[in-house]
Structures are given as structure tokens and as C-alpha cells.
Amino acid sequence: MSHSRSLAALLGLALVGSVWADSSAKKAGPSVEQLIEQMGNKDFQVRDKASKALAALGKEALPELLKGRGNPDPEIRRRLDELIPPLERAVALSPKLVTLHMTN
């Protein structure tokens, strides 16, 4: 009985820890849209920091980056044109799950 209680407590702590980590990660920084807008800031350091943050997000940010290509700010479009091709290449070269169904 003691073993099952300790196992339940351990699972409970793991669940609480994962929920806490998810909520803190969401609050950690600006959204992709905000970072895209920051790439048009007058301050070079803000623009550079936003570009690096978007690059660090990786492939998950690609759909939002593609939407941002229509931005009227030429600086934002230029920076997106630098960020998008390597991410598209990474998506194209990433391993895909393939399932084969065979008979005989």
C-alpha cells in the first residue's frame, strides 16, 4: 500500500511540475507576432534581438513568419527573407514518419 501511495505522489508531482513548466514557458517571452513587429523597431539592438529570438524558435514559428512577409515595413520583410529559407530547408529535410501497409 505504501508503494502505491509513493507512486501516486510521484506522478502527482510530475504532473504539477509539467503544468508549471508549460505555464512559465508561455509567460517567458513575447509572441511570434510581437517579435516580428520588433524587427521593425528603430533601435538596432531591439531588431537584432527579435531576429535572434525568432531564429531560436525554429520550425514552429515558420507559419507566422510566412504570414509576416506581407508586412508593409521593408526592414521586417528583409529580415524575414533572411530567416525563412533556412527554416524551410530544415522542414524539408526533417525526417518524416512513414507507415507501410503491405499484404502478401
Distances (CA, A) of 78 to 10, 37, 65: 50, 13, 12
With respect to residue 41, please indicate whether it lies within any of the assigned structural domains: yes
Q: How confident is the model at residue 104 (pLDDT cuts 50, 70, 90)?
A: confident
Let me know if residue 74 belongs to a domain: yes
Does some domain include residue 71?
yes
| % of the chain with per-residue pLDDT over 70 | 73
> Which residue segment(s) compose the domain that 58 sits in?
30-104
Q: Give the model confidence (pLDDT) of 4-14 as tens digits.
A: 555 455 445 55
Looking at the domain assignment, is residue 78 inside a domain? yes
Q: Which amino acid is at 37?
A: E
15 within domain boundaries:
no
Confidence of residue 3 (pLDDT cuts 50, 70, 90): low
Residue 7 lies in a domain: no
Rounded Cα distance between 20 and 47, Å, is: 30
Determine contact, residues 75/40, Cβ cutoff 8 Å: yes
Residue 54 amino acid letter: L
Q: Has this prediction a pTM greater than 0.85?
A: no
Burial 78-97 (b: 16+ CB within 10 A, else e): ebbeebbeebeeeeeeeeee
The CATH number given to whatever domain includes residue 74 is 1.25.10
**Domain count along the chain:** 1
Q: Given pLDDT bands bounded at 50, 70 and 90, which one contains residue 29?
A: confident
Of 22, 73, 80, residue with least CA distance to 50: 80
Of 66 and 29, the structure prediction assigns the larger pLDDT to 66
Residue 22 included in any domain:
no
- What does the pLDDT look like over 41-56, one tens digit per residue? 999 999 999 999 999 9
